[in-house]
Homo-oligomer: A and B are copies of this chain.
Amino acid sequence: MYSDSTPHPEAPLWLEIPEDFAGLDGKLWPCGTRRNTSGELTLAGHRVSDLVAEYGTPLYVFDEQDFRARARGFVEHFPSWSIHYAGKSFLSRTVARWIDEEGLNLDVCSGNELSLALSAGFPAERISLHGNNKTIEELRYALTEGIGAIVVDSFDEIDRLRVIAFDMGKPAPVMIRVTTGIHAETHQYVATSHEDQKFGFSIHSGQAMDALVTCWEQPQFDLLGIHSHIGSQILNMDGYARASQITLLLARDFHCATNNHIREVNFGGGFGVPYLPSDEPWDIENLSDTLIRHAEKGVHYYDLPDIHFALEPGRAISGPPGVALYRVGTIKTVDLGDGLSRRYISVDGGMSDNIRTALYDADYTAILANRVSTADGVLSRVVGIHCETGDVLVKDVYLPADIEVGDILAIPVAGAYSRSMASNYNYALKAAVVAVVPGESQIMIRRETLDDLLRLDMGPHGCERSP
């Protein structure tokens, strides 16, 4: 067996062998997560074995208090700012309700997300609509419902929104999505004057100013302000500081050009979360200190009047409260040569419920959840059910040597961009999503059934088969 002094040569350098398989890394698990006295994982007091017995596997479990606390944390630490929850990370009617109750706004990416939020009773005036290719129907629907803001992304969109707003006789509330040239990734950011991507109006090219002035001049628009978004899963905040400067400079230039003030600046989202024990998270105090300081500095430096600031966290709110539970089905040790081996643990989900590992080369960790083990650690790969070699959930993790068929594995930080991107590859059924609080569990999204899928199939049934 391997130890920290002699790790498995195939293991990535950052991968640590846990000293104790009972341990729970506080930064990876929802606040209500414990091991009970028998060593079983509990989520808000619910034993994972009870949850999977009631709801089946794969199962996504959200710790409601943890979710609300993260949402509230943004509101509390950015007291005069607006916090928009990015619904694309994970949205359901229940989540829309939580977000509403915690006083956040909501960002949606499509008319369908908007429809879902409205059906949950979320107030339209606190919703913003994103998207690089909104249809006329989506724009009309958003205006009709009294949406708070449309984040305009192209001149084509300005053209079609002008016509719709004119028809409807009311100005469209708009933010202008700009590109600052700042691209941030997990541990770094790059600054270029040019951006090779589909979103936004480039500041450098002058398109952003053109869009701002166009919307300001025309009565079909109520120009609210500027929206910037610099990336995803960002753990280093330097890029936000730089983007904030560039965006506020644009606000100043707009003021100079029009003698009109930008009322709102939204710095977007992308706040990363730790997925692994070795990831270093930011904390909300530091984040708010940094962002507020830079925003105030910009306001002062460019002599801007009161600007209302906004942020758009998605994953930072919905990721960590979500835990994915899977049942182990097949265990196979594969010879890698030179005396090495890798253990493949197949669970009953996979790339259909969480494609992030395959799509983004994302890293996750996993633990044995239904019991605690004192066995040695074995380098393991957690894979799914799909007929595809790339169907991996956790690339590398040390799990106890005595894992057996029927055990339950839990993957933390699974709330964002997993169930929301789920597919039916190999006719897999989409997993159920459950919310837990102490003493109660509640189904948010029920498990799909084969009938749900087959009702779309208009093909011939067996009884019609020619003899």
Contact = CB atoms under 8 A, between A and B. Distances in A.
B452 A452 contact: yes
Interface in A36-75: none
A193 B338 CA distance: 11
A2 interface: no
Contact of A133 (B130, B157, B336, B385): B385
B156 A330 contact: yes
A135 B456 contact: no
Given A112-B426, A196-B342, A426-B113, A120 B462 contact: yes
Contacts of A401: none
B425 A421 contact: yes
A332 interface: yes
A205 interface: yes
Interface string A11-23: 0000000000000
A131 interface: yes
A306 interface: no
B359 A355 contact: yes
Interface string A434-453: 00000000111110101011
Given A93-B457, A109-B426, A337-B194, A156 B405 contact: yes
A442 to B, nearest CB: 8
A8 B457 CA distance: 44
A26 interface: no
B109 A387 contact: yes
A383 B100 CA distance: 32
A460 B93 contact: yes
A259 interface: no
B425 A119 contact: no
A383 B198 contact: yes
A380 to B, nearest CB: 11
Contact of A427 (B112, B121, B135, B335): B112
A345 to B, nearest CB: 9
A465 B97 contact: yes
Given A112-B429, A132-B385, A430-B456, A156 B193 contact: no
Given A94-B460, A121-B464, 14 more contacts: A88-B425, A97-B460, A109-B387, A116-B454, A119-B461, A121-B465, A130-B387, A133-B347, A133-B385, A194-B335, A198-B332, A198-B381, A198-B389, A420-B425
